[in-house]
Structure 1
Amino acid sequence: MSTEFDAIPGVPAPARRALTEAGYPDLEALDGADFTALLGLHGVGKRGLERMQAALLERGLSLADAPAAEDRTATFTLGHTGENAADLRTQATGQSPAEYVEQLDTPRRVEHGRLLLEIFGRATGAEPVMWGPSMIGYGQMHYRYATGREGDTFRVGFSPRKTKLTLYGLPHEERFLDRLGKHTTSVACLYVNKPEDIDLAVLEEMIREAWNSGT
């Protein structure tokens, strides 16, 4: 499922046009895009980009190197409440994660998806759940921002995207990242080109740390 830019409150028309012309047809296409580079597009302003970053975070996505917004203080509680912002589209679905992985468009992506299903399943001991069209999550938690906006999401998870593997909910502490291998990070996500680039034992350690921390 894709989210049109005009569905994000406070994003002006010039910014929507500039992003579309730059090759970003919808909100989800911005996942992993560089915040500063997008600011360089004519018509894209800092406030509108911050609003899009907030919408991305609610969907488990993020711009790269995006500054933390001033009013994004949030509280998190374990479990599902069903209390979601009206425009929040990324929710748990009934699709089978295993079937989703097997239907990916290349053998390489299928292999990566199978591997991550195994690692996340072993580290969490939980069953995977599809969130939106392409994210696989484990566990549930509820967030509520200082603005009053709230929603349900998963605790840890991944998405075997075409360009990079996107990992959600993992610690960004140097004691892990220094040992992980080749990766990049954003406010909410960790990106890996392929499993061969990282130490999978460290990845599993990071998943266990996030899961056992209760967040």
Structure 2
Amino acid sequence: MVPRSVNASAAQTDYTFGRVLAIYQQKYALIESSQGLGLLALEEADFLLKCAQLLPENENLKPQPLLVPLKVTLSKDEINTFKQFQALISDFGIVIDISHGKATIHAVSLPLRQQNLPVLLTKLLAYLATEKLCSKQQIGHWLAKQLSHESGVWSQAQAVGLLADIERLCPQYVRQPSKNLLQLIELQPVVAALNNERSKNANKT
């Protein structure tokens, strides 16, 4: 089967990946759409969805107060890193106060609420410490990788839900999927091979 790239037609408005037929190697979805059969990389789709959730166009994420603020002990270097990037961190709805060597996390945005926030903050500061300059997009992509599907094993139900979210929140990836997101499968060579074998067997009988 030969893969080929795909773009939706210019007249198409109901952007959809179609039906999920099966999961292949636990991280790819075999899909059937109006464009034909295709193999979709679920890890890439999940990353793109997280990026869309963390980096909404023309707005910052809104902080949602935690029921119980969380305290995290930070080193002097970590505090300095936080102060350097505090404005960018706050763009993701993260509200933190620093006092007496401890960070108190008061609020985070919706995409981050299910995370282990003390661990996430420590890892984020370690990442930022290696970056002299860092953009909002870079931080968003880093956070998206941390939030991505952890087990790496996808069920068909999870794949269906993921693709529905992609279609709803970022249809541009359905309209023009990148080659590392979706490859259509050309079945004609397989059909030709089957017909060839049938002809050989027919000639033997």
Greater C-alpha radius of gyration: 2
Same fold, TM-score > 0.5, yes or no: no
TM (norm. structure 1) is: 0.25
More helix by share: 2
TM (norm. structure 2) is: 0.26
More strand by share: 2
